[in-house]
Amino acid sequence: MKQAIILASTLLALSASAQAANLTGKWSGKGAAVDHQGKTFACESVVLTINHTANALSVGSEFVCDGQTFAFPGNAEIRGGDLFDKGVKSGTISANALTLTVKEKGFVLLTNASFTDAAMNLRAVVSNAANPGTPVLKFESALKR
């Protein structure tokens, strides 16, 4: 469940990054996650199919982590330099970076991404909403178009 939550937050962050760069296309790469006990596991395949317009972004994704497959859709609204998840301001975006915070099902998801037109580096941290300073899961991925 924790893996699914962090992967969903990553998708939202990717969705949000569309304003600053043309992210339309298929992105792929690998990643890794570390749980609260320090156990590291591999995400041997991360594939995102992104379609973006001036005000919105749609993301289809598939993550294969430690032999388990997770697929998620994601959508974000872009208004200027602000990001919105379900109508609520949840982050910011610039020409080459974004920050997105999403609260969902008792967890706080903080995602940071830096990107160019051809590459994206993602970092996400999941914390329990009752104890937001203590990470439950950390995730990193590098993607290329």
Mean pLDDT across the chain, nearest whole number? 77
Lowest-confidence segment of 6-20, 43-57, 89-103 by average pLDDT: 6-20
Q: What CATH code is carried by the domain that includes residue 68?
A: 2.40.128.20
> pTM of the predicted model, to two decimals?
0.73
Torsion, CA 2, CA 6, CA 137, CA 104, rounded to 10: -70
The b-or-e profile of 54-91 (16+ CB within 10 A means b, else e) is eeebbbebebbbeeeebebebebbbeeeebebeeeebb
Rounded CA-CA distance 3/68 in Å is 10
Rounded CA-CA distance 66/63 in Å is 10
The count of structural domains within the chain is: 1
Provide the domain limits for residue 129: 2-144
> Does the pLDDT value for residue 95 go beyond 70?
yes
pLDDT for 84 equals: 84
